[in-house]
Amino acid sequence: MEHFNPILGYETTGPKFITCGEIMLRLTPPNYEKLRMATNFEASYGGSEANIALALANLGVDSTFFSVVPNNSLGKSAVRWLRSNDVHCTPMILTEPDETPSNRLGTYYLETGYGIRPSKVIYDRKHSAITEYDFSQVDLDELLEGFDWLHLSGITPALAPNCRGLIIDMLKEAKRKGLTVSFDGNFRSTLWTWDEARDFCTECLPYVDVLLGIEPYHLWKDENDHSKGDWKDGVPLQPSYEQQDEIFQHFIERYPSLKCIARHVRYAHSGSENSLKAFMWYDGHTFESKLFTFNILDRVGGGDAFASGLIYAMLHNYKAMDMINFAVASSAIKHTIHGDANITDDVSSIRNLMNMNYDIKR
């Protein structure tokens, strides 16, 4: 595929990253208004995998996004937004109604929380183009050729049966070709049930190198007797170091091909102030990051910013503690940016935050 990135140019020597997922139109009432009060909306684009591609591209990584969008002004605008942030869109598929009958771009509405009022999301993504496309037409060997890293999430397979087939096939092809694979379970209760998500995402684990989050997966204490429960049962959302380390060890025992497991832990003091830290298993040890406390401008995409920060740090061979602190700092700084994605184009600003340096830069 012929790529051009205005920052990287045509010739790139670093690792090449690709991801696949749905990109959606995001509509948000301005000034923290509630949806029922809104008379106008701010339009932008987002989606977990697109957010990660965009964040990495802004940090200078050769980053490609694959998806299906309708061949109309909305679909083209979404592609244009990605390209304006230096994401390669060569493999993107723009479809006509004979290929995807509904031929629509998924949409979601975000009501931004403030203070004690949490944010709220309403999806309008059923029958979007990606859910109606016949992916048997896609040559995955050709699609993944030349790439070093593939990132996928549990959102895409939740959309429709064709997307579930695509994700499993991409995982198998990436494994065959020797790509590093990262996977974020990203459970969405509006798209499928907890048991459906756990069943499918557990099926993905043998193909994964870097696991983001510890749910939704089965980690049975006894594979032959599920009544004995899951090792994660009873573990709090804000675990101690010892509790998290034990869960990581059970994952590694069951899936020795995993090279890294990382998850962030959120402390929601209010709708406008949160704290974040993270745990990571890497190279035989469990690491715990610093705790970052911050005010929130826009929370959506915080988990994607964590994922992109970790991927960036791993691609650039950071030391383990720097990897996890850079990932959390990436998430924290995203909370200060409007929109879904971490549009931060200088690594130094994230590293300064990572080192708790808040001084003005001039």
The three state secondary structure string of the chain is CCCCECCCECCCCCCEEEEECCCEEEEECCCCCCHHHCCCCEEEEECHHHHHHHHHHHCCCEEEEECEEECCHHHHHHHHHHHHCCCECCCCEEECCCCCCCCECCEEEEECCECCECCEEEEECCCEHHHHCCHHHCCHHHHHCCCCEEEEECHHHHHCHHHHHHHHHHHHHHHHHCCEEEEECCCCCCCCCHHHHHHHHHHHHHHCCEEECCCCCCCECCCCCHHHCECCCCCCCCCCHHHHHHHHHHHHHHCCCCCEEEEEEEEECCCCEEEEEEEEEECCEEEECCCEEEECCCCCCHHHHHHHHHHHHHHCCCCHHHHHHHHHHHHHHHCCCCCCCCCCCCHHHHHHHHCCCCCCCC
Residue 315 lies in a domain: no
The pLDDT tens digits for 213-267 are 999 999 999 999 999 999 999 999 999 999 999 999 999 999 999 999 999 999 9
Q: What is the pLDDT of residue 16?
A: 97
Q: What are the angstrom distances between the C-alpha of 159 and each of 20, 166, 190, 197?
A: 13, 11, 10, 11
Q: Please tell me the distance from the alpha carbon of residue 176 to that of residue 237, in angstroms, as a whole number.
A: 35
Residue 287 lies in a domain: no
Q: What is the pLDDT of residue 116?
A: 85
Q: What is the pLDDT of residue 272?
A: 86
**Is the model more confident about 286 or about 357?**
286
What's the gap between Cα 15 and its chain centre?
A: 19
Q: What is the pLDDT of residue 1?
A: 43
The pLDDT tens digits for 26-37 are 999 999 999 999
Residue 158 lies in a domain: no
The pLDDT tens digits for 94-136 are 999 999 999 999 999 999 888 888 889 999 999 999 999 999 9
Kindly indicate the confidence band of residue 358, based on its pLDDT and cuts at 50, 70 and 90. low
Residue 153 lies in a domain: no
Nearest to 316 by CA among 87, 56, 83: 56
Task: Report yes or no: 57 and 14 within 8 Å, Cβ to Cβ.
Answer: no
The pLDDT tens digits for 170-220 are 999 999 999 999 999 999 999 999 999 999 999 999 999 999 999 999 999
Q: What is the pLDDT of residue 240?
A: 96
pLDDT at 81 over 80: yes
Q: What is the pLDDT of residue 225?
A: 94
Number of domains in the chain: 1
Q: Which domain holds residue 116?
A: 13-133
Residue 250 lies in a domain: no
CATH of the domain at 57: 3.40.1190.20
Kindly indicate the confidence band of residue 14, based on its pLDDT and cuts at 50, 70 and 90. confident
Q: Please tell me the distance from the alpha carbon of residue 310 to that of residue 327, in angstroms, as a whole number.
A: 5
Residue 70 lies in a domain: yes
The pLDDT tens digits for 43-54 are 999 999 999 999
The pLDDT tens digits for 138-161 are 999 999 999 999 999 999 999 999
Residue 320 lies in a domain: no
Q: What is the pLDDT of residue 119?
A: 87
Burial of 320 (0-12, 13-18, 19+ CB in 10 A): middle
For range 268-283, the mean pLDDT: 93
For range 344-362, the mean pLDDT: 81
Q: From its phi and psi, is residue 124 left (phi > 0), alpha (psi between -120 and 50) or beta?
A: beta
Residue 128 lies in a domain: yes
Q: What is the pLDDT of residue 12?
A: 59
Mean pLDDT rounded to a whole number for the chain:
93
